[in-house]
Structure 1
Amino acid sequence: MSKFKIIPIVLVAFLSFIHVTIAQEDAIHKKINADMYGKFSKAFKTLDYDLFASIHSKEMIRISGNGGEIKKAGTYLKGYQKRWSAPSQKPAPIDFRLFERVYSDSLVSDRGIYRVTYIDDNNQTKYSYGQFHVVLKMEDQSWKILIDYDSDENKTITKDNYDAAFSISEYKKYWKH
Structure 2
Amino acid sequence: MNAQIWVPFHEAYRDGSAEKYLALHRPEFIRGEGTLKIVRTLDEYAAGVRRSFAIWKERGLKIDLQFRFLERIVKEAQASERGIYRFTVIHPDGKTERFYGQFHTFARKVDGRWQLVVDYDSDEGGRVDAARYEAAAAVDDFSRF
Residue of structure 1 equivalent to 2:17: 48
List gaps (5 residues or longer) in structure 1: 1-31
Kindly state the Cα deviation for residue 63 of structure 1 after the two structures are TM-superposed.
Answer: 0.2
Q: Look up the equivalent residue of 1:82 and give its one-letter code.
A: R
Report the RMSD for the aligned CA atoms in angstroms.
1.3
Residue of structure 1 equivalent to 2:49: 80
The answer to whether the Cα contact below 8 Å between 2:31 and 2:119 also exists between their aligned partners in 1 is yes
Kindly state the Cα deviation for residue 140 of structure 1 after the two structures are TM-superposed.
Answer: 3.0
**5 Å matches for 1:97-176?**
97-120=68-91, 123-173=94-144, 175=145
Kindly state the Cα deviation for residue 136 of structure 1 after the two structures are TM-superposed.
Answer: 0.6
Q: Can you list the C-alpha shifts for 1:73-95, whole angstroms capped at 9, x where unaligned?
A: 11101111122123225221100
The answer to whether the Cα contact below 8 Å between 1:131 and 1:153 also exists between their aligned partners in 2 is yes
- Of the structure 1 ranges 118-127 and 159-168, higher mean CA displacement relative to structure 2 is found in 118-127
List gaps (5 residues or longer) in structure 2: none
1: distance between equivalents of 2:111 and 2:131? 37
Q: Secondary structure at the match of 2:68?
A: strand
Aligned positions, number: 143
Q: Look up the equivalent residue of 1:57 and give its one-letter code.
A: R
User: What TM-score does the superposition give when structure 2 sets the normalisation length?
Assistant: 0.93
The answer to whether the Cα contact below 8 Å between 2:61 and 2:92 also exists between their aligned partners in 1 is no
Larger-gyration structure (1/2): 1
Q: Secondary structure at the match of 2:98?
A: strand
Q: Can you list the C-alpha shifts for 1:12-53, whole angstroms capped at 9, x where unaligned?
A: xxxxxxxxxxxxxxxxxxxx0111110100010011112111
Residue of structure 2 equivalent to 1:96: 67
Higher helix share: 1
2: distance between equivalents of 1:157 and 1:141? 34
Task: Kindly report structure 1 stretches of 4+ aligned residues shifted beyond 4 Å.
Answer: none
User: What TM-score does the superposition give when structure 1 sets the normalisation length?
Assistant: 0.77
Aligned-pair identity in percent equals: 28
Kindly state the Cα deviation for residue 120 of structure 1 after the two structures are TM-superposed.
Answer: 4.1
Q: Secondary structure at the match of 2:67?
A: strand
Q: Secondary structure at the match of 2:63?
A: coil
Which has the higher relative contact order, 1 or 2, with Cα contacts under 8 A spaced 6 or more apart? Answer: 2
The answer to whether the Cα contact below 8 Å between 1:64 and 1:149 also exists between their aligned partners in 2 is yes
Q: Secondary structure at the match of 2:101?
A: strand
Residue of structure 1 equivalent to 2:3: 34
Match of 2:28 among 59, 65, 69: 59
